[in-house]
Amino acid sequence: MKNVTGNESGAAIKRRGLVFYTKIYFKIIAQDIKSKMSYRADFIISTIGIIATNIAGFIAFIIMFGKFPSINGWSYYEILFLYGFSLISITPTQCLLDNNWSLRRYVYDGDFVKYCFRPINVWFYYVSEVFDVKGLGQLVFGIGALVYAWIKLAIPVEFLLIMKIIVALVTASLFMMALQNAAAASCFWIQNSFWLLDISLKMKDYAKYPITIFNDVFRFIFTFILPVAFMAYYPSLVILRPDNVPVLTWLSPVLGVAAFYGSYKLWMKGASKYDGSGS
Amino acid sequence: MNNIIELKNVTKEFKVLNRHEGLKGCIKDLFSRDYKIVRAVDNIDLEVTQGEIIGFLGQNGAGKSTTIKMMTGVLEPSSGNLIINNRIPYTDRTKNSQEIGVVFGQRTQLWWSLPLVESFKLLKDIYQISDENYNEMLELYGSMVDIETLLHKPVRQMSLGQRTLSDILAAFLHNPKVVFLDEPTIGLDVAMKSKIRELILELNRKKNTTVILTSHDMGDVDALCQRIVIIDKGNLLYDNEISHLKHFFGIYRTLKIRPRENVIEVANKLKDELYAFEVSITNDDTWISILVNEEKNRIMKVLEAVQETHAIKDMQLKEISTEDVIKKIYEGGVRN
């Protein structure tokens, strides 16, 4: 980072780059976690809650898919792989963008204006305020399911494959974040935007199934309109169907970055036209 | 250029949908392109020099907040020139924010569950305040208020007064050139009000910070401002030294009475009965307000006259409010 020294009053305001934001982010998060712990009962109950939710979801999954040895050519463990994959890829959205759930309320009450007065990026400042620790519980379950499926499917543990799965996970996370971010941003234009955000959350439930089990209409929607298929299916084909990877899979990392950037731009556009009514 | 703030012909218009009534109207609204233009701020000129404290007054919906939002870079003016510290706030929002501080009376900008000192440390990083300046500022705060009890208390556990105090301290922490204070003493008791006024005045003097203060409390304005700007219906109604106006709210006082009989009837009768006193009378459901010019008539005399013909349940004596001042300006009592 370059250090630009101002002439007046010796104040040196550095350009706020990636290093600056990363540093600030970790400081804010450390404080946030510290303060969450200070509501001790709340912290313990919500930790138990998230573990229970995950166990319940997992049991439902086993009961449902344990009955069928395969669905549409997808074996039980392959579906378990997708399940774990989608749990991991939802984690960044859950942990990092949790404050987006409250955006509607802030905008509606006029409280959002307070985020506009700091000399840092508004989106960053807003989402950095809350880090949802509960998301980490999900991550543990996701990794568990994925590793178990990996072993059962006898996929070799190779460096290249591991790199591939990491890229695939990052890609899927980007799509997931993009969808939630864009849905949250809609509140800058639409008064009652909660249902959009709610739908975006429900979408992750469809993400855990191979897209081939849906009919053509849904397949089209989930691929080109709501990028649900990119949240687990397309990226994980690299590992599960290495001989038959469609073009969309190879394109997905680029599309993921584009989708996330687009959702960020949309959010920022909304924030800049925000007029702070109600104060 | 000595002016820290310069507004020239600044206008802000909002596009508002013409709403129709009823369910049918609602459906119509969905597809309607029938907008009307509302002018929230209309052709305002304003110049402020470094170090001034300006009382920015106006009734609710007069355009105060809109003007402040333009100055802080949240809103873009529809037309006109707006320069803060040689910058256009809207296009240069980040840099503008570096040199302004904002406090909104009831909305804290501090991290809700953090102790104040942690919030300060985050602000230190965000505004890139040097260790030297930061420590110097904390030392200064220490000499003004009992900072030690505040620093280690989570903001959520603070009383409203402590929170407002903390918010003001946080707004001055990066030594901004301009601080916007919106209703800083709203909802506070008398002791806390005067404490906060003292703090603002001292910070203004020590740091030569320009302060733009909006308040409904004439007490705030009286204690802090040398100059008053009044905005009404988007127009600049008044911009002058406070001494000009002070004369005015010094001599006017409101006598509020609660009669035993029907309020409206009594109010109507009083309009005739008190004609000689040249007072203006208004009433709501329970109270009758009589604005008395004490230069012409003593308040006790008016009260006596009322009591002669009407039984009184309760009474209050009030200082003139911003609303009354504005009303008086409209009536032509004060020349700009």
Count interface pairs A-B at CB distance under 8 A: 72
Domain ranges of chain B: 3-233, 250-331
Query: Scanning every residue of chain B, which has its alpha carbon at the shortest distance from the alpha carbon of A279?
Result: B65
Mean pLDDT of the region A27-40: 80
**Domain annotation covers residue A260:** yes
What pLDDT shows up at residue A224? 78
What pLDDT shows up at residue B296? 81
Which chain B residues are Cβ-neighbours of A121 within 8 angstroms?
A: 94
Q: Which of A67-81, B54-68, B254-268 has the lowest mean pLDDT?
A: A67-81
Q: What does the mean pLDDT of chain B come to? A: 85
CB atoms within 10 A of CB A266: 18
CATH architecture, domain B250-331: 2-Layer Sandwich (3.30)
* Cα–Cα distance, A112 to B60 (Å, whole number): 20
Is residue A62 helix, strand or coil? helix
Give the pLDDT confidence of B91-126 residue by residue, as tens digits.
888 888 999 999 986 788 888 888 899 999 999 999
**Domain annotation covers residue A59:** no
The shortest CB-CB distance from B126 to any of A24, A35, A38 is to A24
Mean pLDDT of the region A158-174: 91
Which chain A residues are Cβ-neighbours of B107 within 8 angstroms?
A: 111, 114, 279
Per the CB < 8 A criterion, the answer to whether B213 and B221 are in contact is yes
* Cα–Cα distance, A207 to A176 (Å, whole number): 10
Q: What pLDDT band is residue A256 in, cutting at 50, 70 and 90?
A: very high
**Domain annotation covers residue A14:** no
Bigger pLDDT: B127 or A225? B127
Give the pLDDT confidence of A40-63 residue by residue, as tens digits.
788 788 878 888 888 888 888 888
Bigger pLDDT: B335 or B264? B264
Indicate whether A257 pLDDT > 80: yes
Query: Tokens representing B173?
Result: 């922490």
Q: What does the mean pLDDT of chain A come to? A: 83
**Domain annotation covers residue A61:** no
What pLDDT shows up at residue A4? 37
B75 and A113 within 8 Å at the Cβ level: the answer is: no
Indicate whether A205 pLDDT > 80: no
DSSP notation for A151-213: HHTT----HHHHHHHHHHHHHHHHHHHHHHHHHHHGGGT-SS-HHHHHHHHHHHHHHTS-GGG
What pLDDT shows up at residue B247? 67
Mean pLDDT of the region A213-232: 82
The per-residue b/e assignment along A71-108, b for 16 or more CB within 10 angstroms, e otherwise, is beebbbbbbbbbbbbbbbbbbbbbbbbbbbbebbebbe
The shortest CB-CB distance from A31 to any of B72, B73, B122 is to B122
What pLDDT shows up at residue B333? 55
The shortest CB-CB distance from B97 to any of A24, A118, A275 is to A118
To the nearest whole Å, the CA of B248 is away from the closest chain A CA by: 29
A129 and B97 within 8 Å at the Cβ level: the answer is: no
Taking the mean position of all CA atoms in its chain, how far away is CA A68? 30
Domain residue limits at A220: 69-273
Indicate whether A6 pLDDT > 50: no
Q: What pLDDT band is residue A8 in, cutting at 50, 70 and 90?
A: very low
A113 and B128 within 8 Å at the Cβ level: the answer is: no
A279 and B104 within 8 Å at the Cβ level: the answer is: yes
Of the residues A7, A37, A117, A125, the best mutation for testing chain B's interface (the one with the most B CB atoms within 10 Å of its CB) is A117
What pLDDT shows up at residue A276? 60
CATH of B3-233 among 3.40.50.300, 3.30.70.360, 3.40.50.1820, 3.30.70.1230? 3.40.50.300
Side-chain-side CA neighbours of residue A130 (13 Å): 15
As a residue count, chain B comes to: 336
To the nearest whole Å, the CA of A35 is away from the closest chain B CA by: 6
Give the pLDDT confidence of B178-230 residue by residue, as tens digits.
999 988 888 888 888 889 999 999 999 999 999 999 988 878 888 888 898 98
Give the pLDDT confidence of A68-86 residue by residue, as tens digits.
777 777 888 888 898 899 8
Cβ contacts of residue B86 below 8 Å, gap of 6+? B1
Strand partners, B39: B13
Domains B3-233 and B250-331 share a fold: no
